[in-house]
Amino acid sequence: MSTTADIRNGSILNFKNSRMKVVEFQHVKPGKGPAFVRTKLKNIQSGKVIDQTFNAGVKVEFIRVTSSQFQYLYKDSHNYIFMDNQTFNQVEVSELLMQDGHRYIKEGDNIDLVFDGDDIININLPAKVTLNVVQTDPGHRGNTATNATKPAKMETGLELQVPLFINEGDLLKIDTKSGTYSERVKQ
């Protein structure tokens, strides 16, 4: 058993007989009263996010997880198919677990899958991915009084706002946490 001092973003807890992922946490030491830890926990099965406060020092049960790199192959009707790079076994990841992660990966990309025993419980996307712009309107000179943006569609179907100087065919780095444009990549 561990205590609340060991809570970190991305940790997996066994809480109320469910696997919960720590989305956010904050240690709080008020002027009066005991310290506590404020968390946002996401139920891995249902996707529901709850706010939970723990008193400092309370014992919590962490789930030991393993991570392995898999290659994304394709999507069938309701699942995403990945292949283990070591054993070449294929596994299915449900749409619920994948959430918006499919907007950041292309066929052939390597992604870390997190396991609790044989169950896939999480997908670790890289912090930034490089994607190709397949559709955007041309930017016009003169309408840049401020940081003007325009919509762009990426090769994976992701739609986001980009600066006016971005053209079709450009490679862009996209932040997977916020889903926003980061920078243009030189080709």
Per-residue model confidence as pLDDT tens digits over 131-161 = 999 998 887 666 555 678 889 999 998 999 9
Task: Map out the domains of the chain with their CATH numbers.
Answer: 2-62 (2.30.30.30), 66-124 (2.40.50.140), 128-185 (2.40.50.140)
Spacing of C-alpha 19 from chain mean position: 17
Residues in a beta bridge with 139? none
User: How much is the pLDDT for 140?
Assistant: 67
Q: What is the C-alpha to C-alpha distance for residues 57 and 7, in angstroms, rounded to an integer?
A: 11
Question: Are the beta carbons of 180 and 166 closer than 8 angstroms?
Answer: no
CA-to-CA distance for 149 and 71, rounded, in angstroms? 34
Q: What is the mean pLDDT of residues 18-41?
A: 90
Arithmetic mean of pLDDT, 14-41: 89
**Rg of the chain in Å (alpha carbons):** 20
Give the end-to-end CA distance of the chain in Å, rounded to a whole number: 50
* pTM summary value: 0.72
CA distance 172 to 23: 27
The pLDDT value given to residue 83: 94
pLDDT of residue 39 exceeding 70, the answer is yes
Token pair for 70: 């898999």
Q: How many other CB atoms are found less than 10 A from the CB of residue 130?
A: 13
Q: pLDDT (tens digit, 9 = 90+) per residue, 3-27?
A: 888 888 888 888 888 888 888 999 9
